[in-house]
C-alpha cells in the first residue's frame, strides 16, 4: 500500500478554464473597471462600452465599443437612460457578437446616468440569451446627487435585476460610514472603486482560482441563476497571529453588511478565504464557524485559496444573497409601466392651486334693470330682465410666489377681483 509522507505537498487540481467577459458600461463603469483591466484577471476579457470614442481612448480594455450616432454628435446621452437603451437596441448584433462564447459575464456600471443605466439591462438580456451566467456589479448615486438621478438609478436597478442572474449593489451613500470629515471627494470615489473591485476579484477567484477547497462553476450557477435576488458584499483583511479573529470581527461589523443582519437574513452566502502558505486549517475553521452561526438558514459555499504573496495575511470576502422582499412590488411597477421608458413618471411637481377663486357677481335690482335695458336697446330683444352675469369657465392661474399674499383692498373693494365683475359689466 502506498502512503504519502506528511511533508509531501498535496497537488492542487487545476480548475477548468472558464471564459469570463467583464464589461465596463458608461463613464462610471469604465472607470470602475479600469483598475481591474490594468492588473488583469486570468482568463477574463475586458470590454469598455460607452457612447463616445473619446471617452474610451485611455481605457486599458482589450475591446472598446463606442455607440455613436449622428444625432448625439459625440455628446453622449445627455444623462437620458432612454437614449442609452435606444443605442443598445440599435447595436444588438454587436452586443451579441461580444457575448458569444462567454460562460460568465460581469457587468460593471454606475446607475443614474444615461449610458450605464440604459445600456446595462439590454446587455444583460443579450448575454443571458447567449447562455452566460450574468452578474451585475453596480454603484448607486450619493444622495447629494439629487432625487432625479436617484430615481433613474432605482429604475435602472429594477430592470437590471429583472434581466441579470444576480446583482451586487453598492450604494455610494454607505461609503460615508467608512470615511471621516477629512476624506476628499476623490478618495471617497476611489474607495467605492476598490470595494466594488474587491467583490469582482472575489467572485473571479471563486470561479477560476485553483484552491485547496474547490468551488465549482456549476455550484455558483445553481446558487445564483434566476434568483433575481438582492446581494450584499464585504471584504475584510487582517494581519498577524490573531488574524482569524480580527477578520471575523471586521466582517460582522462591516457597514456594507449592515453590521451583521444581512447575514442573518441571507438565503445563500459565498465565502472566499485567501491567505499565504502559512494559512492553517484551524484558522479556516474558526472563520467559517462564526459565519455559519450567523447564516444558519442559508446555503453556504466556501472556497479557500493559497497565494504566496499573502504570507501572514488573511482576506475574507463574503457575498450574501438574501430574499428579495420587494420582488413582487417591483414586478408590479414594471408591469404598470414604471420603468426607464417612462422615467418622468413621478418626477413632475404638481401645479399648485390658486388661493383665489373669484366669486360670482352680486347685482341689486336696479343694476339688473339698467343692464337689461341697455342690452335691450342695443340688441332689440325682449325679456332680458332675467339675464344674469355668469362666471366664465376660465382656468384660474396660480400666482406663483404671490399665491399666499393678502388681497389688495381699496375703499372696501378687492382689486384682485376683475373690474367687469366688481362693476357688474356683462361680457358679450
CATH number of 230-323: 3.30.1330.20
Say which residue the cell 437614449 belongs to. 83
Q: What's this model's pTM, rounded to 2 decimal places?
A: 0.68
CATH 3.40.50.1440 domain range(s) in the chain? 15-229
**Distance separating alpha carbons of residues 212 and 161, to the nearest angstrom:** 33
> CB neighbours (10 Å) of residue 326?
13
In order along its 428 residues, the chain shows pLDDT tens digits of 444 444 344 344 445 578 899 999 988 899 899 989 988 888 889 999 988 777 788 888 888 888 866 555 555 565 678 888 888 888 899 999 999 999 999 999 999 888 889 999 999 999 999 999 899 999 888 888 888 888 988 998 999 888 888 888 888 888 887 788 888 988 888 888 888 888 888 788 777 766 777 777 777 777 666 555 566 778 889 999 999 999 999 988 887 787 677 888 888 888 889 899 999 999 999 999 999 998 888 888 888 888 888 899 999 988 887 766 555 565 555 555 555 554 433 444 444 444 445 555 666 777 767 766 665 554 544 454 455 555 555 555 555 555 556 677 777 777 777 777 777 776 65
**Distance separating alpha carbons of residues 196 and 139, to the nearest angstrom:** 8
What homologous superfamily does CATH list for 15-229?
A: Tubulin/FtsZ, GTPase domain (3.40.50.1440)
Tell me the three cell numbers of residue 364. 341689486
Under 8 Å between Cβ of 283 and 246 = no
Tell me the three cell numbers of residue 189. 470615489
Strands (E) located in 51-196:
63-66, 104-110, 133-140, 166-171
> Of all helices (H) and strands (E), which one includes residue 224?
helix 217-224
Amino acid at each position: 500500500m502506498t502512503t504519502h509522507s506528511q511533508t509531501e505537498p498535496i497537488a492542487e487540481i487545476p480548475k477548468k478554464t472558464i471564459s469570463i467577459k467583464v464589461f465596463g458600461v458608461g463613464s462610471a463603469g469604465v472607470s470602475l473597471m479600469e483598475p481591474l483591466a490594468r492588473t488583469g484577471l486570468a482568463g477574463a476579457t475586458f470590454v469598455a462600452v460607452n457612447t463616445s470614442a473619446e471617452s474610451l481612448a485611455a481605457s486599458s480594455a482589450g475591446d472598446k465599443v463606442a455607440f455613436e450616432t449622428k444625432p448625439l454628435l459625440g455628446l453622449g446621452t445627455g444623462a437620458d437612460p432612454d437614449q442609452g437603451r435606444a443605442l443598445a437596441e440599435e447595436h444588438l448584433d454587436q452586443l451579441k457578437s461580444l457575448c458569444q462564447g462567454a460562460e460568465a459575464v460581469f457587468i460593471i456600471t454606475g446607475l443614474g446616468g444615461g449610458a450605464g443605466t440604459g445600456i446595462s439591462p439590454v446587455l444583460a438580456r443579450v448575454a443571458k440569451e447567449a447562455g452566460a451566467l450574468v452578474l451585475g456589479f453596480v454603484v448607486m448615486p450619493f444622495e447629494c446627487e439629487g432625487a432625479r438621478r436617484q430615481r433613474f438609478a432605482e429604475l435602472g436597478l429594477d430592470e437590471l435585476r429583472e434581466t441579470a442572474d444576480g446583482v451586487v449593489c453598492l450604494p455610494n451613500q454607505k461609503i460615508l460610514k467608512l470615511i471621516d470629515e477629512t476624506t476628499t471627494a476623490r478618495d471617497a470615489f476611489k474607495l467605492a472603486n476598490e470595494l466594488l473591485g474587491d467583490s469582482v476579484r472575489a467572485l473571479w477567484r471563486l470561479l477560476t482560482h485553483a484552491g485547496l477547497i474547490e468551488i465549482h462553476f456549476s455550484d455558483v450557477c445553481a446558487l445564483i441563476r434566476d434568483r433575481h435576488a438582492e446581494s450584499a458584499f464585504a471584504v475584510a483583511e487582517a494581519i498577524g497571529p490573531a488574524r482569524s479573529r480580527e477578520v471575523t470581527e471586521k466582517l460582522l461589523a462591516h457597514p456594507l453588511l449592515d453590521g451583521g443582519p444581512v447575514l442573518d437574513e441571507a438565503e445563500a452566502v459565498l465565502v472566499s478565504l485567501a491567505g499565504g502558505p502559512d494559512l492553517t486549517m484551524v484558522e479556516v475553521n474558526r472563520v467559517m464557524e462564526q459565519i455559519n452561526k450567523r447564516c444558519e438558514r442559508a446555503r453556504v459555499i466556501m472556497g479557500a485559496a493559497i497565494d504566496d504573496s499573502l504570507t501572514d495575511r488573511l482576506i475574507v470576502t463574503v457575498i450574501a444573497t438574501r430574499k428579495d422582499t420587494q420582488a413582487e412590488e417591483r414586478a408590479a411597477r414594471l408591469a404598470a409601466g414604471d420603468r426607464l421608458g417612462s422615467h418622468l413618471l413621478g418626477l413632475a411637481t404638481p401645479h399648485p392651486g390658486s388661493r383665489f377663486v373669484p366669486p360670482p357677481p352680486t347685482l341689486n335690482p336696479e343694476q339688473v334693470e339698467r343692464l337689461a335695458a341697455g342690452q335691450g336697446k342695443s340688441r332689440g330683444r325682449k325679456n332680458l330682465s332675467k339675464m344674469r352675469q355668469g362666471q366664465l369657465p376660465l382656468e384660474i392661474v396660480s400666482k406663483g410666489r404671490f399665491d399666499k399674499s393678502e388681497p389688495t383692498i381699496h375703499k372696501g373693494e378687492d382689486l384682485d377681483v376683475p373690474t367687469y365683475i366688481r362693476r357688474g359689466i356683462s361680457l358679450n
